[in-house]
Amino acid sequence: MYAIGSLGTGGYATLPGLVLTYFLTDNLGVAALAAGLIVTAAKIWDVLIDPLIGAASDRQLARTGSRRGFMVTGALALPLFFALTFAVPPSWGPVTGAVSVLLAFLATATAFSLFQVPYVALPAELTGNYDERTRLLGWRVVVLTAAILLFGAGGPALRNAGSDPVLGYLLMGIASGLAIGIGMLIAARTADIAARRNAHTSGAPIVSSTWRDQYMSGFRALGRSQPFRALLGTFVLQALATGTMLAGAQYVATWVLRSEDAVTLVFVALVGPALLTTPAWTALARRTGKERAFAIASGLFTAAAATLVIAVWTPGAWIYASVAVAGIAYAGLQSLPMAMLPDVISHDERTSGPGQAGTFTGIWTAGETVGFALGATAVSLTLATTGYISTVAGATVEQPAAAITGIVLSFSILPAALMAASLLTLRRYRLRREDIDAVASLDA
């Protein structure tokens, strides 16, 4: 039941990252730089509200014994705002269209954060066992990768189902928003399971009532937990790397592989191997430790992304093979850090007390948002710098060679360099299995 929430996580993370910038530049005629700024502005809003939601979720847990209220609110609100994001017609003009998309996407982001921040906090409260957390998050990633495949392939397919791209985007927004909301609503029930397991947190003192106190609680968590700083830094760099590839995928399909529909095959190549290999990463983590398995996955992704630069000179179907290798690594990049985060939280509880998981996950979700937002920004800046030509739906243009090169670089060398940098921050993560087992034995 917990894992089904990743149907919402995968859908929300995949479709906007995959098609929103493209929707703005190639359907509404918004300039590439402006499109990137719109996506970034919405993500900055996420960064501002996520720590507040995390601290508020901790207060809700202390007051009611459950984090479910925020999760249900987000699940019910998201479908409407998600559909509105893609409901803007080109006839409104680039300026009005851009403003409308921005407002709808801000509301969508708020609804998603209301669900996601408490959702990420739950594993630390559902089980205290080192390996059980890996299995729990492993199943979540199986659903997540399946959702990425469903939305990454199915979303563009819905968009292209008819001859009218305006109705196609609207259909995609409505259907995808409903699917995301249903998954989130089902997963919200696991908050009550966590509440029963941690009944002692209900009735705890309610603190951090002001905005300033809520932000400061997050900074205090960063300051006192060295493992959290190392893991968060690694995760943000990797979110930036994968966000860059995600935002560039549609452009690679259209202008490198010369088929707008090829984005579906790119996603199948990425997510198919990830779906199949998640259990293998779980087994490797059990044998070697999560941090070592995480480093192996990061190195493999770095190598696979770097090979894609060859597409500057010889584009072709071989790109799918490199993407598939990245997909094998991607399964580990998704499951392992999420399984390490509950370890960090439980380790901190040893000195700071329970009931603060939302504070950690608020900062974590904000960091992830920063990474994905800057990924889209990096792609839009690359497009603007290399002379990418924006257009409206139905119009035909030919991109300059420099723009094609920029698209390939943003899909290969840039994410590879960011992923390599994340290996340096990962080296500073010092929690090991014996540290978590020691905490669990004290709780027993």
What residue ranges define each of the domains in the chain, with the CATH number in brackets? 5-194+221-443 (1.20.1250.20)
Q: Within the chain, how many helices (H) and strands (E) appear?
A: 17, 0
159-168, 201-210, 232-241, 336-345 — which one is most confidently predicted on average?
232-241
Residue 417: is its pLDDT beyond 80?
yes
Please check whether residue 269 is in contact with residue 324, taking contact to mean a CB–CB distance below 8 angstroms.
yes
Confidence label for 48 from pLDDT (cuts 50, 70 and 90): confident
- The per-residue pLDDT for 203 is 47
Which one has a higher pLDDT value, 230 or 44? Answer: 230
Q: How far is CA 230 from CA 371, 426, 429, in A?
A: 15, 6, 5
| Confidence at residue 364, expressed as pLDDT on a 0 to 100 scale | 81
pLDDT attached to residue 208:
47
Taking the C-alpha atoms of residue 90 and residue 85, their distance in angstroms, rounded to an integer, is 13
Listed in sequence order, the residues at least 6 apart from 400 whose beta carbon sits closer than 8 Å to its beta carbon are: 386, 387, 389
pLDDT in tens, 68-112: 889 999 999 999 999 999 999 888 988 999 999 999 999 999 999
Would you say residue 246 has pLDDT above 90? no
pLDDT the model gives residue 204: 47
In sequence order, the 6+-apart residues with CB closer than 8 A to the CB of 362 are 50, 51, 52, 53, 54, 55, 57, 117, 218
Give helix 211-224 / helix 226-251 axis angle, nearest 10°.
100
Nearest residue to 108 (alpha-carbon basis) of 211, 57, 181: 181
* Contact (CB, 8 A) for 70 and 180: no
Phi-psi region of 65 (alpha: psi -120 to 50; beta: other; left: phi over 0): left
Residue-level pLDDT at 231: 94
In this structure, of 128-142, 245-259, 355-369, 409-423, the range with the lowest mean pLDDT score is 128-142
- Mean pLDDT, the chain, rounded, equals 83
What would the pLDDT profile of 324-334 be if each residue is shown by its tens digit? 999 999 889 98
For residue 206, name the pLDDT band (cuts at 50, 70, 90).
very low
Q: E-assigned strands of 76-230?
A: none
For the record, the structure tokens of 77 come out as 């609100």
Supply the pLDDT for residue 394: 59
Q: What is the mean pLDDT of residues 186-196?
A: 73
Average the pLDDT over each of 8-22, 158-172, 184-198 and give the range with the smallest value.
Answer: 184-198
Q: What is the DSSP letter of 90?
A: G
Q: Could you read off the pLDDT of 297-313 as tens digits, one per residue?
A: 999 999 999 999 999 89
